[in-house]
Amino acid sequence: MKPRDSQDLPLSAFILALFLGVFSSLAIATGLILIDAPSWGTYLFAALGGVMTASFVWIERSLVFQIKEKELMLGIEVTRLQEFQDYLYSHSMACLVRFDAGTLMIDRTSPGFIKMLRMPMESELRGQSLEVLLGVSSLKLESMVELIKEGEASGKEPKLEIMSADGFSTNAVISGQYSPGDHIVEAAFFVHPVNNAERVADLGAAQKDLERFRKGMFRRETRILELKEEVNGIRREAGLPARYEKV
C-alpha cells in the first residue's frame, strides 16, 4: 500500500458506505411499499436500515484501513531497523556476529569481530563454523545459545574463553538475542582490551556501537511485537482471526 493510497482510502470508504446505505434504504422502502406498510413505518425503517448499513460498512472499512496502515508501519519499522543493523555489521568495531542457532554457521560479522579474531580485515567469514573460528567446543557454544534463548530469565550472562587465529586466548562476555522465526542468533562479544594502544583506542567506539546494537535489538523486537499486537487487536475488532501468533 502506497502513502497516497492511505490518504484516498477514507474517502472511498465514505462513498461506499453512503452508496450502500442509500441502496439499502431504497430496498427496504420498496419492500415495505409492496406489502402496503404505513407511510411512517416505511420512512422510519428505510432510514434506520440505511443508517445501520452505512455505519456497518464505514466501521468495517475503517478497521480494514487501520490494519493496512499498521502493517505498513510494521514494514517500515522493520526496514528501518534492519538498515541500522546492516550499518553496524558493515562499519562497527564492536564484535558482532549473526549465526544459525542449530548449525552454528556464521551469516554475518562486523569488522570488530574479525579484528577480535586477529584475522585480516578482508576475511570472509560467512558460511564458516563459529566453533572453529572461536576455538570453542560445540557444547559450550550450544550452552551459550540456550542462555541467550532464555534471556534475562536465566539470570546469567554467557561467557566464553576464545582463541584467536594467532593463538591468543581471551575471555569474552556475550550479549545476544534469538529470533525463533528464522532460528538465528545475533550476538555481541565484549572483550576487555589488552595493553596495547590500538585496542585501547578502539574500545570507546566499540562500546558505543555495542550499546547501540543492544538497544537496537531490544527496540526492534519490542516495536515489532507492539505493532503485531495492534494489528491483531484491530483484526479482532473486525471479527477476523489474529494474523500474528504470540511468542
d(CA 44, CA 238): 28
pLDDT for res 190: 81
Query: Domains (ranges, CATH) in the chain?
Result: 3-84+228-237 (no CATH), 92-192 (3.30.450.20)
Q: What is the DSSP letter of 129?
A: B
* Most confident by average pLDDT, 8-12, 18-22, 207-211: 18-22
- At residue 124, does pLDDT exceed 80? yes
Q: How confident is the model at residue 2 (pLDDT cuts 50, 70, 90)?
A: very low
In this structure, of 41-55, 198-212, 214-228, the range with the lowest mean pLDDT score is: 198-212
pLDDT for res 1: 39
Q: Is this prediction's pTM over 0.75?
A: no
Question: What grid cell was written down for 93?
Answer: 568495531
- At residue 5, does pLDDT exceed 50? no
Q: What angle do CA 119, 83, 208 make, to 5 degrees?
A: 60
pLDDT for res 88: 77
- Per residue in 62-116, pLDDT (tens digit) is 777 877 887 787 778 777 777 877 887 888 777 888 999 999 999 999 888 888 8
Helix (H, G, I), strand (E, B) or coil at 165: coil
Edge-first strand listing for the sheet containing 169-179? 106-109, 95-100, 184-191, 169-179, 159-163
Q: Which amino acid is at 236?
A: R
In this structure, of 92-96, 189-193, 199-203, 240-244, the range with the lowest mean pLDDT score is: 199-203
d(CA 185, CA 177): 6
Q: Which of 211 and 79 is assigned the larger pLDDT?
A: 79
- At residue 130, does pLDDT exceed 80? yes
